Amino acid sequence: MNIVLLGAPGSGKGTQAKRLEEAFGIAQLSTGDMLRAEVKKGSKIGRTADTLMRAGQLVPDNLIIALIETVLDDEACRDGFILDGFPRTVPQAEALDVMLETKALKLDRVLELEVDDEAMVERISGRFTCANCGEGYHDSFKPPQTPGVCDVCGSTEFFHRADDNATTVRERLKAYHLQTEPISAYYEKRGILTRIDGMGGMDQVTKDLTKAIEAQPQG
């Protein structure tokens, strides 16, 4: 099962992709996580991406396509993958089609989380992550049970993403509407797109995504 998960910044894509990874035994491929790893390493790609990410802009298509191409053949993707944050432009979607065709693979589902922009600014501005195990938290919606201590691993180290602030979020939302939203129409024509209400609780959204994955394709 090969899936693309679309959704504006803050829509819960990453959290949901992790849940689906576990439920369906398919690999979550997050281009955002891959880029943040490159930034941490200080690689050439990382240095180019860092400035753009901090400004809330997309990194160039050729760079991100090359990055994705290297991981699709990983053993972890043997039973399928869930693309989280890719494609983000129509040229990326077209490049993905070519890549999959070369590998004799196909996309089974494209799931789009529909959310409200203003709520996303609030959601993103308060979020932070455990530096040790990666568990996600939020100042208002999901603080750790003991302040300053991770519920999962007990670590006391947390980090805020450099691009998780109100100003950058607005830029990221702009990029989403302008560059990423046209992808929906691209997949809708093929009958593989399902839109899901992303404003409900996390568990409800997981249920709706699961239902859409298990449903017969319309096309």
Q: Applying CB under 6 A, which residues contact ligand AMP? A: 9, 31-32, 35, 52-53, 56-59, 64, 85-86, 88, 92, 163, 172
Rounded least distance, CB 140 to ligand AMP, Å: 20
Give the DSSP per-residue string, the chain.
Answer: -EEEEEE-TTSSHHHHHHHHHHHHT-EEEEHHHHHHHHHHHT-HHHHHHHHHHHTTPPPPHHHHHHHHHHHTTSGGGTT-EEEES---SHHHHHHHHHHHHHTT----EEEEEE--HHHHHHHHHTEEEETTT--EEETTTB--SBTTB-TTT----EE--TT-SHHHHHHHHHHIIIIITHHHHHHHTTT-EEEEETTS-HHHHHHHHHHHHHSPP--
Return the number of the residue (104 or 118) whose C-beta is nearest ligand AMP: 118
Rounded least distance, CB 25 to ligand AMP, Å: 22
Return the number of the residue (30 or 206) whose C-beta is nearest ligand AMP: 30
Return the number of the residue (28 or 31) whose C-beta is nearest ligand AMP: 31
Q: Is the peptide bond before 87 cis (omega within 30 degrees of 0)?
A: yes
Rounded least distance, CB 215 to ligand AMP, Å: 26
Q: How far apart are CA 11 and CA 107, in angstroms?
A: 22
Shortest-Cβ-distance residue relative to ligand AMP: 32
Q: What are phi and psi of 5, to 5 degrees?
A: -110, 115
Write out the catalytic residue numbers.
Answer: 13, 88, 127, 161, 172
Q: How far apart are CA 60 and CA 51, in angstroms?
A: 12
Return the number of the residue (11 or 206) whose C-beta is nearest ligand AMP: 11
Rounded least distance, CB 191 to ligand AMP, Å: 23
Return the number of the residue (133 or 215) whose C-beta is nearest ligand AMP: 133
Rounded least distance, CB 30 to ligand AMP, Å: 6
